[in-house]
Amino acid sequence: MATYVDLDGVRTWYEEYGTGRPLVLLHPGGYGAAAFEVNIGPLAEHFHIYTPERRGHGNTPDVAGRYTFEQGAQDTIAFF
């Protein structure tokens, strides 16, 4: 199920799959959540998977200004 959540003014896209203990998959730079396409099915058999896309990746828009590792960490924390 794909949806959006607002993270500090950024409309952030994510999907959820499966049930069980939560597992967040953070995609590598330059890719979106589709990077995990082959892993989703097997992992979703055991976990509740979340695949948020970072700013400027996949379905989440880019924003003006610098984007740092610190901001990425803050976005991930805000996701929960």
Q: Which residue range forms the structural domain that includes residue 10?
A: 2-64
The reply to whether 51 falls in a domain is yes
Q: Taking residues 40-48, what's their average pLDDT?
A: 97
The reply to whether 76 falls in a domain is no
Instruction: Yes or no: say if 2 and 13 are a contact pair by the CB < 8 Å rule.
Output: yes
The reply to whether 45 falls in a domain is yes
Q: Could you tell me the CATH number of the domain that includes residue 54?
A: 3.40.50.12270
C-alpha span between 32 and 53 (Å, rounded)? 6
Q: Taking residues 41-66, what's their average pLDDT?
A: 91
How much is the mean pLDDT over the chain?
A: 91
What does pTM read for this prediction? 0.86
Please give the tally of structural domains in the chain: 1
The reply to whether 28 falls in a domain is yes
Q: Inform me whether the pLDDT recorded for 1 exceeds 80.
A: no
